[in-house]
Amino acid sequence: MIKQINQVFEQHFGKASICVKSPGRVNLIGEHTDYNDGFVLPAAIDLATYFICNQNDVNKFRLYSYNLEEYYETPVDKLAISNKKWANFLLGVIVQFVKAGKKVRGFDCVFGGDLPMGIGMSSSAALETGLAFAINQMGEFGYKKFDLVSFSQKAEHEYAGVQCGIMDQFAVMNGRTNQVIKLDCRSLDYSYHPFEMQDQMLVLVDSGVKRSLDGSEYNVRRQECDAGVSVLQKYNPEIRALRDVTIEMIQIHKKELDTLVYNRCLYVLEENIRVEKACEALDHNDFISFGKQMFDSHEGLKNLYEVSCPELDQLVELAKGVGGVLGSRMMGGGFGGCTINLIKKHAIGCFEENIIEHYKTSGGDSPHIIKINIDEGTHLVSI
């Protein structure tokens, strides 16, 4: 993949200076908790986007998408939101360096890889963090990883119009091989927990339903959570987010909450508890208990937070019907995307056969089944 992308770079721009590998991420558990100051449990994976770059002397940012075969350029002094959607994820990153007072020289960049888009594996975060890492290297700016994570999150807010939490960018940047990250999305304290899959595998199944987080539903969920916080703050002004709320507290004030608002809040509180239980299970190498938290998470996302869809629900039900499947849930913001499944290795064949036999995408095709490994976060690689 790197060789192919480098060949395209040489065809368009000449010789490159650096290559950055920026992985996708999975979130094992802890969905929609990040923007509520809660806990998440993501990990970087071995599918990635690669950035091959070099500074130029033409005072332009010249960008080429290997996978889409599309080109975009802009003068360095005329940065603005583009009508080309993929370019905005990158332009937004450049803007953050400029806002921080850095003079970013024109550069050429060809990016692409094997990371699927739009199925909940944070392809957008991989774009943002990968380019932020590359700019930091080329400019020798000396920013720490956390600074680059912050730049990447702000780029998505300002140029992609998605008010995302920080989990995706953080996980993509800070992943470690065979470890998951428990991230406190308020303090950004984090700890690593072992995920040594001796007898298990992680398998994603793409529902074929493409999702888009720049739609209204994502922001509506944030507003509903904020509405719950506003009611509860009347009784405790120290409450800043759902992180500060207990299940007992919302049950006491249930009648004062709109039914939807109550359900959204209850889901978030229960999901935070599931993250804690999941980490405890991993520390004891208890994948059975871990898988139960995954199943329970999907039920909450389906019935309380209402961000699943019939296709994702069907895939989870099919997974439950296979012996050796320890856990299954929808992954990502919802409304499409993929499921993540924790499966005993001996059951992989039966799982794939069951899915292929009983599930078809809207186009009548068999779903894309993706086996993944937990891998290193964004880093330099040899061209």
**Residues with active-site annotation:** 168
- Taking alpha carbons only, the member of 198, 154, 206 closest to residue 178 is 198
SS3 state at 55: strand
Distance CA 131, CA 50 (A): 9
**How, if at all, do strands 338-344 and 379-381 pair?**
unpaired
For tokens 């020289």, the residue is: 105
Distance CA 287, CA 279 (A): 10
Distance CA 239, CA 351 (A): 44
SS3 state at 338: strand
H-helix segments, 188-258: 216-233, 247-252
CA count, 13 A, side-chain hemisphere, 242: 31
Tokens of residue 242, six digits: 């759902």
Tokens of residue 52, six digits: 């091959």
- Taking alpha carbons only, the member of 342, 35, 301, 316 closest to residue 180 is 342
For tokens 């961000």, the residue is: 307
253, 256, 260, 261: CA torsion to nearest 10: -70
Q: Give φ, ψ of 221 to 5 degrees.
A: -60, -40
Residues 6+ away with beta carbon under 8 Å from 363: 208
